[in-house]
């Protein structure tokens, strides 16, 4: 889909440190950085850690959770952590397991629902399994705020329940013994964008303080643990879950990255870095999202997330490497399934529309043979390609009695301008019983409907999304930080941009645009375009991934307009600057605004 490149407005940046390059200051200012303190990514600047603002900035539910956990540790209560089957859930589970170890617990374990059998979160079925294994207390991570039935089942069995979550609550809140969630009503914690692993980190940080006050560590004759050693898990889960990188999350990610680069990370993460062929000393935040996270996610998408969690918990590098290779194989299989589904989905769209100008306002697709483990990724790919909110559905189960109605599960991805969870809630209120259950965030959500209602849902989704979206919301736009001089297109400046991060969701990596002379163009790896371009006598390498091979290479193109990120390419020990091309058009087709 054609994208329009719009350059960001220049905003006031005098309040930022004078030692920064003017272009770096402008990049920060355009991303909402308002003072130099927001660039000081120190642990001491995390919300809730300063004595002056501890009470006003604390997470609601922490005191109750700490009291319950203290009692559980003293009484050696059987604690079962209930995780989730994505990278955030995996890192959250691993963090809780490690923290309880550090605090002297010898009676804790974890359970992760298999998405193909029980579905998401603390379901009554998972509660029964935990109870059969002797659980006395359940602690959810990255789930639980919408699990009313599961919590009710646990309470009926006499189990204590602590919910730690970050998802948006529904109208009904579960009757848990304690709930820690920055998005629950009455919580004054400033950062509402914590990932599930971030919430788990704060719970364990608060528990350590509580145990210190109770003289627990002295009584148990154990060393007071350094919770900062868990920040590698926090950084990985935060970026992989694509939560907004506000100032607080940027601190968590930066501190985790520093530990990993310094070699202070667990064997499981080190093994994942190796299998992804990344340089540990130069790891950046995007590597969590595009290299490590997908390999962990592959376990939950295609098999059992316990594999991913066990890799993160591996006691030594040798065993971690074996598990990391297995996760890498699963990720390759996931890619093959995803590519096939995406091609089928695009074929369906072509049959429904005459051209890309005649797209629906919102896309909902279902196929009985699609794999529910990768529908979220496919929805994201389609959203990116067509710039429309998209929901992709797959069968919830293949093993249903003949008399039972088939349920299908959908994974939704949205575009700026449409809060997808709010839209699903609106659909649910306007068309009761059309949606069986739903939950999620502004940009991503999940839901279930009856298969027989898919066509009705497809129509309703498109109509109501059209009412909520403005015409400009449907325009695919790239925001550019402007053009770079040839003196800035250097390895040194690319390194400075890397160090200026971490970059991520709502704090995007700098992107630039300019016109170049096209020197060479060729296809590599079936659908990637390798370019050599020239500007003012200087020559630069560039690469555009997943291009339209029907349009490129284009022998007629002499001048091209590129929107690109400045990156460092490492090959056989040599490091060179490379343009990572996000948008490519022949100069006569350029859609640009200054």
Domains (range + CATH), the chain: 4-33+478-593 (2.40.50.460), 51-327 (3.90.1640.30), 353-474 (3.10.310.30)
Q: Which residue carries 């190796």 as its tokens?
A: 274
Task: Compute CA distances 293 → 93, 212, 356, whole Å.
Answer: 15, 34, 32
**Going by C-beta distance under 8 Å and a sequence separation of 6 or more, which residues neighbour residue 384?**
none
**DSSP string for residues in 456-519:** HHHHHHHHHHHHH--GGGGS-EEEE-----TTTSSHHHHHHHHHT---BTTBPPP-EEEEEEEE
- Whether residue 168 contacts residue 421, with contact meaning beta carbons closer than 8 Å, is answered with yes
Query: Mean pLDDT, to the nearest integer, of 570-590?
Result: 85
Is the predicted pLDDT of residue 419 greater than 60, yes or no? yes
Over residues 465-502, the pLDDT tens digits come to 999 999 889 988 999 999 999 999 999 999 999 999 99
Q: What six digits make up the tokens of 362? A: 């919102």
Question: If residue 205 lies in a helix (H) or strand (E), which one and from where to where?
Answer: helix 196-213
Over residues 156-203, the pLDDT tens digits come to 999 999 999 999 898 899 999 999 999 999 999 999 999 999 999 999
Is the predicted pLDDT of residue 297 greater than 50, yes or no? yes
* Global pTM value: 0.90
SS3 254: helix
Query: Mean pLDDT, to the nearest integer, of 24-32?
Result: 96
pLDDT of residue 549: 87
- With vertex at residue 231, the alpha carbon angle to CA 444 and CA 380, rounded to the nearest 5 degrees, is 20
Question: At 572, is the pLDDT very low, low, confident or very high (cuts 50, 70, 90)?
Answer: confident
pLDDT of residue 352: 65
pLDDT of residue 427: 96
Is the predicted pLDDT of residue 447 greater than 50, yes or no? yes
Q: Which residue carries 């303080």 as its tokens?
A: 209
pLDDT of residue 403: 46
pLDDT of residue 379: 93
pLDDT of residue 116: 67
- Whether residue 162 contacts residue 65, with contact meaning beta carbons closer than 8 Å, is answered with yes
pLDDT of residue 70: 98
**Going by C-beta distance under 8 Å and a sequence separation of 6 or more, which residues neighbour residue 318?**
none
Higher pLDDT among residues 153 and 573, named by residue: 153
pLDDT of residue 113: 83
Is the predicted pLDDT of residue 49 greater than 80, yes or no? no
Buried b (16+ CB within 10 A) or exposed e, 8-41: eeeeebeebeeebeebbbbbbbbbebeeeebbeb
Rounded Cα distance between 159 and 130, Å, is: 10
Is the predicted pLDDT of residue 404 greater than 80, yes or no? no
Strands (E), 233-316: none
The DSSP output letter for 288 is I
Q: Which of 116-120, 161-165, 224-228 has the lowest mean pLDDT?
A: 116-120
Rounded Cα distance between 20 and 286, Å, is: 23
Question: At 248, is the pLDDT very low, low, confident or very high (cuts 50, 70, 90)?
Answer: very high
Query: Mean pLDDT, to the nearest integer, of 98-104?
Result: 97
Q: Which of 403, 420, 404 is nearest to 412 (CA)?
A: 420
Mean pLDDT computed over every residue of the chain: 91
Higher pLDDT among residues 373 and 408, named by residue: 408
Count of helix runs (H) and strand runs (E) in the chain: 19, 18
Higher pLDDT among residues 180 and 352, named by residue: 180
């Amino acid at each position: 889909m054609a994208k329009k490149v719009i350059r960001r407005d220049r905003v006031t940046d005098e309040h930022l440190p004078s030692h920064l390059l003017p272009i770096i200051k402008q990049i920060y200012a355009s991303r909402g950085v308002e003072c130099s303190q927001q660039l000081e990514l120190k642990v001491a600047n995390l919300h809730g850690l300063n004595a002056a603002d501890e009470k006003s900035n604390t997470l609601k539910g922490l005191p109750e959770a700490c009291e319950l956990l203290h009692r559980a540790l003293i009484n050696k209560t059987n604690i079962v952590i209930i995780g989730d089957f994505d990278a955030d859930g995996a890192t959250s589970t691993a963090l809780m397991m490690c923290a309880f170890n550090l605090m002297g617990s010898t009676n804790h374990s974890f359970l992760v629902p298999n998405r193909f059998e029980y579905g998401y979160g603390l379901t009554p079925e998972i509660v029964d399994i935990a109870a059969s294994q002797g659980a006395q207390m359940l602690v959810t991570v990255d789930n639980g705020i919408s699990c009313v039935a599961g919590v009710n089942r646990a309470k009926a069995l006499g189990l204590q329940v602590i919910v730690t979550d970050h998802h948006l609550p529904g109208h009904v809140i579960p009757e848990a013994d304690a709930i820690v969630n920055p998005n629950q009503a009455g919580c004054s914690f400033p950062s509402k964008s914590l990932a599930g692993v971030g919430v788990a980190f704060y719970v364990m940080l608060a528990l350590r303080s509580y145990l210190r006050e109770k003289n627990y560590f002295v009584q148990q004759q154990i060393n007071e643990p350094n919770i900062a050693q868990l920040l590698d898990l926090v950084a990985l889960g935060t970026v992989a879950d694509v939560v907004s990188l506000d100032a607080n999350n940027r601190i968590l990610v930066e501190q985790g990255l520093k530990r990993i680069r310094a070699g202070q990370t667990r064997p499981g993460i080190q093994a994942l870095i190796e299998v992804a062929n990344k340089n540990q000393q130069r790891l950046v935040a995007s590597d969590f999202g595009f290299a490590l996270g997908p390999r962990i996610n592959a376990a939950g998408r295609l098999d059992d997330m316990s594999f991913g969690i066990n890799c993160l918990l591996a006691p030594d590098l040798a065993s971690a490497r074996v598990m990391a290779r297995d996760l890498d194989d699963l990720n390759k299989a996931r890619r093959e399934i995803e590519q096939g589904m995406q091609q089928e989905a695009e074929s369906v769209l072509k049959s429904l529309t005459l051209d890309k100008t005649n797209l629906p306002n919102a896309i909902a697709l279902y196929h009985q043979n699609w794999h529910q483990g990768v529908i979220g990724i496919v929805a994201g790919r389609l959203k990116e390609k067509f710039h429309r909110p998209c929901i992709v559905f797959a069968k919830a189960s293949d093993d249903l009695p003949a008399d039972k109605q088939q349920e299908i599960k959908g994974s939704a991805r949205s575009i700026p301008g449409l809060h997808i969870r709010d839209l699903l809630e609106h659909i649910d209120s306007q068309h009761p019983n059309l949606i069986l259950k739903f939950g999620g965030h502004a940009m991503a959500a999940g839901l279930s409907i009856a298969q027989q209602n898919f066509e009705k849902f497809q129509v309703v989704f498109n109509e109501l999304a059209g009412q909520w979206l403005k015409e400009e919301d449907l325009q695919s736009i790239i925001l550019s930080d402007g053009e770079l001089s040839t003196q800035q297109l250097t390895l040194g400046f690319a390194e400075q941009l890397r160090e200026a991060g971490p970059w991520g969701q709502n704090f995007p990596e700098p992107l630039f645009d300019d016109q170049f002379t096209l020197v060479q163009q060729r296809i590599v790896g079936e659908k990637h375009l390798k370019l050599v371009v020239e500007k003012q006598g200087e020559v630069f390498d560039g690469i555009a991934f997943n291009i339209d091979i029907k349009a490129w290479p284009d022998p007629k193109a002499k001048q091209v307009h590129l929107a690109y990120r400045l990156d460092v390419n490492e090959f056989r020990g040599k490091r060179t600057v490379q343009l990572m091309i996000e948008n490519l058009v022949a100069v006569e087709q350029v859609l640009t605004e200054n």
